Amino acid sequence: MWQKFCSLQSNFVASYVVYHNFRSKGWVPKTGIKFGSDFIVYKHGPPFYHASYSVLISMVDEKTLQPCGDEGRPLTWPVISGMNRVTEHAAKEVMFCFVLKPSNMTDQEMQSPKCISRFKVQEIVMRRWVCARERQDRRHNYLIS
């Protein structure tokens, strides 16, 4: 079954590793196609909270941090800017999940779910900076102290 999924979706291994990572933390990942992302992630599930993050997944080599395999969506500034605008409008934040592939892992090893434990996931959250909000926070902190 693993090989079938790998043949149907070029980034299946990376997507599954990220899915597994979130589920092991108790978060609920759902498809992010509506927001142009790979996943949206809920803290406890759709009935309880809105999704907190729109997730973009990229598999990179552990040593060089260069993209591995077929990158369906390159992370260019226009892509990142567009994603940030969409997620900000939906009250979410963008999370980049970099799946770190061991440099010595072969394609043959990736044909089995046993490879999952060898991957690491690096999560980076991008927050939008709003100068007016910072000014207000500084003023509030100044008045309190």
Indicate which residues carry an active-site annotation.
42, 50, 92
Question: Closest Cα to residue 99, out of 36, 64, 57?
Answer: 57
Alpha helices in the chain (DSSP H): 2-8, 12-24, 77-89, 131-144
What would the 3-class secondary structure string for 94-112 be? EEEEEEEECCCCCCCHHHC
Taking the alpha carbons of 129, 133, 137, 142 in that order, is the dihedral positive or negative?
A: positive
| Cβ–Cβ < 8 Å for 123, 100 | no
Place of tokens 């999560």: 123
